Amino acid sequence: MMDHSTGRRSFAVGVAACAMLFSLAGHVAWAATSASDPFSALRMTRVAAVGPIEDFELNALHGGTVRSQEFAGKVILLNFWATWCGPCKEEMPSLAKLQTHFDPVKFQVVTVTTDVHPKGIKQFLDHLGLSLPVLFDENGDVSRAFMVRGLPTTVLMTQDGRAIGRAVGPRAWDGEESVALIRHLLEGSK
């Protein structure tokens, strides 16, 4: 016959073993989902896009203006950031590196800021040796249209101008998951 302490110990070991199995099963299920869904692998929320984004025109850091129609036919990673946002600045090199994996005719990283200090932005990019397009959302209209509430916010758009993914917070954009997601979109699978 088993005493109470041995029974409790056996029960506790059984509960711990079950907890470990459930935890492992959850991890395996998450890994399987992540492997099959490139959005999930990046913790990126899918966006149910009804149609193309609303047209916009913004001033560019290096002069001139950029119109959203210029993005037609490209997969666009639209990154909203600011120089005062630490996580934004930390992810910038990974955004630039992601761009180097793909033909800029087919895929483009575009950054948007409400900062109004072009000199400071140029110095920041030059200091890191980065070359990314920076657009100025001076009135915040584009940020509002994309419902940007926190920085960084990144929106992924298809070749036909539909927003299909959204990430709030920094990501390692130069990682395998990001490259796989962009390849997935360029191949036309959604």
Write out the two tokens for 105.
């005719």
**Which of the four pLDDT bands, split at 50, 70 and 90, describes residue 36?**
confident
CA–CA distance, 97 with 128 (Å, rounded to integer): 12
pTM (predicted TM-score): 0.80
67 and 101 part of one domain: yes
15 and 28 part of one domain: yes
53 and 127 part of one domain: yes
30 and 124 part of one domain: no
Number of domains in the chain: 2
H or E element in which residue 86 lies: helix 86-100
CATH number of the structural domain spanning residue 101: 3.40.30.10
CA–CA distance, 146 with 106 (Å, rounded to integer): 22
2 and 69 part of one domain: no
Is the pLDDT at 97 greater than 50? The verdict is: yes
Q: Locate tokens 């929320």: which residue?
A: 45
Domain interval for residue 173? 41-186
